[in-house]
Amino acid sequence: MQCKDVIEDHWLITARKIPSPNYNERPPGVDIDLLVIHNISLPAGEFGTGCVEQLFTNCLDCLSHPSFEELDGLKVSSHLYIDRVGEVVQFVPFNLRAWHAGQSEYQGRCNCNDFSVGIEMEGTDNCPYTDQQYQSLSNVTRSLMMAYPAITTDRIVGHCEIAPDRKTDPGAAFDWERYKGHL
């Protein structure tokens, strides 16, 4: 399948850009060779609120919802976020380390943020993702695989696989066969 999403200077040119301050340099000499799929919704189970963008840019009013109190002072980000209508937002250029995986390990390597790209899908573990989200995710993944050839289909994982004691996302509702069948 052809890629319509082009990556230039580590930015997806078709994505809406909202730079996050929550990143740092990757360690020298580290290849980008893992793609991590997450889910997020703020408040939990609510979509289209704009709160995810606010969280990733340190602008979330943690007093605006009771569930946000635990997020106060949290510094997190992701490279990409795909909302329910399939719009892609980029927060961190791919050559830099977004803060998405936390304490994590993949194939004996710790600190997956060092060598991975993180994509947040707007959703929950048990709410089906939309056709538009799968389409955008597939398009973006093909582009990432072209730009960073060490990312292969067998090096695409859920957050639950790299932090199994802490995380369950992207959850049971994520259709891995459907997604990987379009790569």
- Name residue, tokens 């980008």: 32
Return d(Cα 65, Cα 149) in angstroms, integer.
42
Task: Give me the catalytic one of 120, 122, 161, 177.
Answer: 120
CA distances from 24 to 39, 77, 79, 153 (A): 22, 11, 12, 26
Q: What is the DSSP letter of 103?
A: S
Dihedrals phi, psi of 97, to nearest 5 degrees: -90, 110
- Name residue, tokens 């995710």: 137
Token pair listed for 4:
């319509």
Check if 25 is active-site. Answer: no
Show the DSSP H helices in the chain as ranges.
Answer: 51-56, 131-147, 159-162, 176-180
Return d(Cα 135, Cα 152) in angstroms, integer.
18
Residues annotated as part of the active site: 120
